[in-house]
């Protein structure tokens, strides 16, 4: 994978869980225009020792404070910034650090002795559940207009209980009014109860857009 003088930048060298976390991290950074790239993934003990010796028994700037890095277990990765930015532009890497926090990834920039290009996870890491912001915002808007619905029951697709939909329709003005205003097109589906949670989600979002 790598020898003592060269870094392994192959994301496939990471453990499967770390590879998943790193892939999500890189994708989230790319979506936000944070231009970074991997500079090191897996690191052998020999390379770790070699880097530790730099600035101590070998000339150069100190680059690591430990002989026992999570790189060795394939659970960590380092980044740098793409040109024309400086390799370790503080603002860009701080933005990447904020993304890591959202994903439950540990960023070395928060340590007592900061290692800002460094990111890592433990074996307990789990992919965060993505929030449905369109649905959350729609439900919040409906409630803000004085319609008495419980946000927790409707702003998460997984929590939508179809048994409560008839009561929801009444609170939104009733099926006939929703059809008349064009919010509902297929009234047969709603009258027969042949809808699913995604239909309810679309209804709430469309209703909120009309407010």
Q: Is the pLDDT of residue 172 over 60?
A: yes
| Rounded average pLDDT over 60-68 | 92
Question: Where do the domains of the chain lie?
Answer: 11-120, 133-210
| Rounded average pLDDT over 72-83 | 97
Q: pLDDT tens digits, residue range 87-121?
A: 999 999 999 999 999 999 999 999 999 999 999 99
| Rounded average pLDDT over 177-195 | 92
pLDDT band at 202 (very low <50, low <70, confident <90, very high): very high
Of 129 and 92, which is predicted with more confidence? 92
> To which H or E segment does residue 152 belong?
helix 151-154
**pLDDT at position 186:** 84
Tokens, residue 159? 């929590």
pTM of the model: 0.68
**Which residues partner with 38 through β-bridges?**
79
Out of 18-22, 102-106, 144-148, 184-188, least confident range: 184-188
Do the Cβ atoms of 184 and 175 come closer than 8 Å?
Answer: yes
> To which H or E segment does residue 78 belong?
strand 76-81
**pLDDT at position 140:** 95
Residues in Cβ contact with 16 at an 8 Å cutoff, skipping those fewer than 6 apart: none
What is the CATH T-level fold of the domain 11-120, as seen in this structure? Answer: Muramoyl-pentapeptide Carboxypeptidase; domain 2 (3.30.1380)
Listed as own residue / partner, the contacts of 23-32 with beta carbons closer than 8 Å and 24 or more positions apart are 24/103, 24/127, 25/96, 25/99, 25/100, 25/103, 25/105, 25/119, 28/99, 28/102, 28/103, 29/95, 29/96, 29/99, 32/95, 32/99
Q: Is the pLDDT of residue 68 over 70?
A: yes
Q: Is the pLDDT of residue 13 over 70?
A: yes
Task: Please report, rounded to a whole number, the percentage of residues in the chain having pLDDT higher than 90.
Answer: 91
| Rounded average pLDDT over 142-157 | 93
**pLDDT at position 129:** 81
**pLDDT at position 67:** 95
């Amino acid at each position: 994978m790598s020898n003592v003088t060269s870094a392994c930048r192959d994301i496939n060298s990471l453990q499967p869980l770390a590879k998943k976390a790193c892939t999500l991290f890189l994708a989230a950074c790319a979506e936000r225009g944070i231009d970074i790239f991997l500079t090191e993934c897996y690191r052998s003990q020999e390379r770790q020792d070699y880097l530790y010796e730099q600035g101590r028994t070998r000339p150069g700037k100190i680059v690591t404070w430990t002989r026992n890095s999570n790189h060795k277990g394939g659970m960590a990765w380092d980044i740098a910034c793409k040109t024309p930015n400086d390799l370790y532009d503080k603002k860009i890497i701080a933005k990447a650090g904020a993304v890591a926090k959202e994903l439950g990834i540990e960023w070395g920039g928060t340590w007592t002795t900061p290692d800002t290009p460094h990111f890592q996870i433990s074996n307990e890491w789990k992919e965060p559940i993505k929030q449905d912001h369109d649905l959350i915002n729609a439900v919040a808007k409906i409630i803000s207009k004085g319609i008495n619905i419980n946000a927790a029951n409707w702003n998460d697709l997984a929590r939508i209980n179809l048994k409560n939909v008839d009561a929801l329709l009444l609170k939104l003005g009733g099926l006939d009014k929703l059809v008349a205003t064009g919010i509902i097109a297929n009234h047969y589906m709603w009258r027969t109860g042949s809808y699913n949670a995604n239909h309810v989600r679309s209804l709430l979002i469309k209703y909120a857009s009309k407010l």
